Structure 1
Amino acid sequence: MSSTAPPRSPAPTRTDGRSGTPSSADDARPASTLVRAPRRVRRILGWVLVVALVLVVAAAGLLLTSSSPAQRDALDPERPGPGGMQALAQILRQQGVTVEVVRSHADAAARLDDKTTLVMSDPSPLTDAAVSQLVDAAHDVVLISPSSRMLRMLDLGAYAFTSSPARVRAGCDVPAFAHVGTIAPGQLFLPDPGVTACFGDAAEGAAVLIAEGDDGRHAIVDGAALFTNEHLAENGNAALGLALLGTRPHVVWYVPSYDDSDRTDIDVPKSLADLTPGWVTPVIVLGMITALLAAVWRGRRFGPLVSETLPVTVRASETMLGRARLTAKAADAAHAADALRAGTLSRLAAHLGLAARADPSAVADAAADRIRVDRADCRALLTGPLPGSDAELVPYARRLAELETAVENAVRIERSTP
């Protein structure tokens, strides 16, 4: 006798997601993953913003408390910005002139000799004795940032308080200026007796003053208006710079600063780090730590936004009635008639197979042809003037409704006719 083994029942389907068999939970997993993905992205972006904020605060603290570098002079030959003179220094080097940029008046005095041109801006941080030491050690001196004090010390002249001409030529007997051309001068100066005035005249003022003597040549010019990187390529400014600064094979370019001052009667400007109290740095660090801890603390409590359905559904009919009440309250019959006519035109175009934005005249002609009435009457109704009062609005609305009903019935009859 043979016995038949009872059929095995299928293994129960696991719904906890641990089995490879698909289940309802497994089917729902991709959807939940899609839901969690935006949350994860928002969480990551939130932390990125927090870290960025902390870094910004840290950078601000470092800028506030760290020692700021010494501010270079606006006429610095190593500054590439618009107010610097790096371009003029490069042109001098290209012409074979050795240019040394020195920021210490002692080093500058040690490098000066009979074959050297001293170029400097107004040495206001130095005493008269230190300036005289520099001037006496150099054969040629070119002052590119004039001041009344330096004009007096070099016996060159004084400021001219007259307006500068738009363009001016050399107008003097200096051979080096023969090929300069025209310049647009900045500050003008009145020369002392025996001083040569170039690019202007002695009576009204000149842009360049030159004093020749046995001990060398002293020249003064407003370099901020002529020799900066912003203005060097204009007119004959570059040629004038070569003519003034390139007469000797060696140029020592001294850049004055308060760090190199030998004066005791002035207060050296302090940096932001010097003016900042010592407790500012610990407070900034403590604020950064507090902000980070607050972000972590509140970040755990803030969860994703929960979508919630509106408790009330506003029907389209209620919106329509509300707008109708507003129109009636405003007593704007023309506006109400225009709305009625616009709706009628839209529905007529749909019934007649025309475009939704068809011309009202075309819709009126098509409707008249379909119901076989005069086109002029339809055009007057659909394109003519609107009623201006409620008494006119009621019959106008009735006529629109009658026209729309007639067209709809005509179209329905035509479609039903075999």
Structure 2
Amino acid sequence: MTGPTDPAPPAAMSAPPASEAQVAGGSAPGNDPVPAEGDSRTHHLRRIRLALAVVAVLAAGAIATAVLSSGTRHGHLDPRSADPAGSHAVAELLRERGVTTRVVTTAREAADAAGPRTTLLVTDPDRLGATQRDVIRSAIDLSGGRTVLLAPGSHSLPELSPGVHTKGDADTDHPDPGCTLPAATTAGRADTGGGLRYTTTLPGAVTCYPSGGHPTLLVLPTGPTGGDTVLLGSETILLNESLADEGNASLALQLLGSRPDLVWYMPSLADSDPVDSGEDKTLLELVPAGWSWALLQLLVAAVLAALWRARRLGPLVTEKLPVVIRASEATEGRARLYRKADARDRAATVLRAATRERLAALVGVPHNQAHDPVALVPAVSARLTGEPRDLTALLFGTTPSDDAALVALADHLDALEREVRTS
């Protein structure tokens, strides 16, 4: 069996059919070669640079988003923020009344700044770790000033305000003062009912703005230093978007403006405990706010880049190779790959398939029945002389057990085809 599309010699294993050799071998010697290799390399480099530029832009956008979104909840309750959820309006009104506002982000700074002429506002008490709660508790006991805790929950109340417990969410948006506290009676109705309710049996506690029988504002005397602690169940009265509603502005100014200095403590990530009271946190909980979105955007960018650069699936096509090679060389190379991969099954299948197609053409069996033993075997047997042979096992048999058996199969197929040709 010879010719450029015939199987390779037995020693080199076997080769694919003519159609595979044509795809692997490329154009015939007379065809024109493709453009120069340098042009192709330049094209690939240009595409790689474009891909890297797209990924870099996406990564920069993700990092910028994470940086802008990390930290204190996008300016929420920040006295420097003019956003609807910020508190710049109340800070400005306090400034006009001679109250100086100082923003701090650690418990130690807050404690150092607290004193008898100071109001210490803690915007998110439940965010504090055990160490930070102890520092703030010491400042409450020793400062002699006022401490305002915004919506403290069961996580922080035992340390920051012992003897006070939560009673669930308030069910009245604009409760009446319901007490004799001057700040409350002057302000009237206020938006204190959108948060938590409290209960306490501590002596001297002033309870205001009740909702369902439980106050949403508590004023507690603090130790022997003459200070007090204000527990406000809702932060609404300090927000820019709601400061002008009901008596919110009046209540906020009186609660925060009773001393000439206001320390606005906004807990930050840098102020968190290395280990917080034995609570186990997952990996995602340890990731700073905003970075999870950055990781998601990077993942989406990677998937899009992979889809863009992925191989397009489709039918086999004949492509020109960078250099012109002979089909016989491609056939021998394919056979060597079969031998290196120990792919006797594939090699035997290719050998038998090629032989069946040529035998079908010699004995007059239609091409679409060349691989049907019922049609091919009787037609080939009719052209043979001598002793009967098991053509079904030879043309449609099992995989050879070793290389010697594969070489023997190639010899038998070659002999069978020569015999049919000469008959």
- TM-score normalised by length of structure 2: 0.48
- TM-score normalised by length of structure 1: 0.49
Tell me which structure has the larger Cα radius of gyration. 1
Larger RCO, structures 1/2 (Cα 8 Å, 6+ apart) = 2
